[in-house]
Structure 1
């Protein structure tokens, strides 16, 4: 469990520098340069991500159950992941109305992903993993939206076609992950 916790601290910690220590990034970029900062950020993120995967995988061998979710919660999880994948796609497709309206659709997608998985998974490792991501996404979204308002940041919508592109990309990735990749990467068949 310690490996999972360390991974979460590294991964979510480095992804929180802009919201919890806004001057840290600017100071680091001034002292070391933009590319070295991005390299360090990427290395810490990658190490954290690998430790999360390793720690969560280890914890699954000897699960400590806090609750056992009814089977029907898997269907709610699958349903909630549809908009989560669309929101993740909307974060990367420039000019969507979703981004213009919501500001940070990735954080909302992470919220939905984490909440959905907490509904259908009840081990201590699940609560740590998905609970940490849910708490981070809630905090990140609130602070990022507040910062956008304070700085007058807006996101321009270009056309509804951009939203349609985000929806299609989100649905394609949802289908690929739900029907193939989830079992291959995590060892669990969502629809099986």
Structure 2
């Protein structure tokens, strides 16, 4: 669990570096971006290693139907995350699509995992995303981008379905089949 918690701390510190120490980050120039990226990547690697190696300590038994809700929420999360890169009509409908997607992802995974490591990982990521939105909203003004072509939104749906399929395959490869039999 130490690696998992350390990973969460590094992930959070790397993401908050720009907003909590803007003068230090600006003084570092492009190297500041690199430092933040290395810290975030190290945090991600430690979270994965820590989660995979954590002792299973059960806190509750999620109902089996939550797997279906998880899958639906994950499909929505992938779509919402993709809204950040879309140039379609949906562009600008949401200020923080990536962070909203992380929140959806975290809640979806909390619904289907009742162990301590999952609560730490997914609860920690949910807390980080909530605080990140608050900090960004207080420190940066948002200029809503102009909407683009509807055809780009159709492309987003196709990309979402493909990425969801890839993510399902990765889960299967890791030994977690996301669709109950």
Residue 99 (structure 1) shift: 3.7
Indicate how the Cα distance of structure 1 residues 7 and 115 shifts in structure 2: closer, same or farther if over 3 A, else same.
same
Number of the residue aligned with 2:42:
47
> Under a length normalisation based on structure 2, what TM-score does the superposition of the two structures give?
0.91
Q: Secondary structure at the match of 1:98?
A: coil
Structure 1 residue runs of 4 or more that deviate by more than 3 Å after TM superposition: 96-99, 145-148
Q: Which runs of 5+ in 2 are unaligned?
A: none
Offset from partner CA, 1:133-152 (integer Å, 9 cap, x none): 1111122223334545xx35
User: Does the alignment pair 1:56 with 2:51?
Assistant: yes
Q: Secondary structure at the match of 1:100?
A: coil
Alignment counterpart, residue 66 of structure 1, candidates 45, 59, 69: 59
Number of the residue aligned with 1:169:
159
Number of the residue aligned with 1:33:
29
Structure number with the higher helix fraction is 1
Offset from partner CA, 1:15-41 (integer Å, 9 cap, x none): 12344x1xx2343222x222x112111
Counterpart mapping for 1:103-118 below 5 A? 103-118=95-110
Q: Secondary structure at the match of 1:158?
A: coil
Alignment check: 8 A CA contact 2:17 2:25 kept = no
Corresponding pairs, count: 180
Alignment counterpart, residue 78 of structure 1, candidates 61, 71, 75: 71
Residue 153 (structure 1) shift: 2.0
> Under a length normalisation based on structure 1, what TM-score does the superposition of the two structures give?
0.86
RMSD: 1.7
Q: Which runs of 5+ in 1 are unaligned?
A: none
Distance in 1 of aligned mates of 2:17 and 2:157: 30
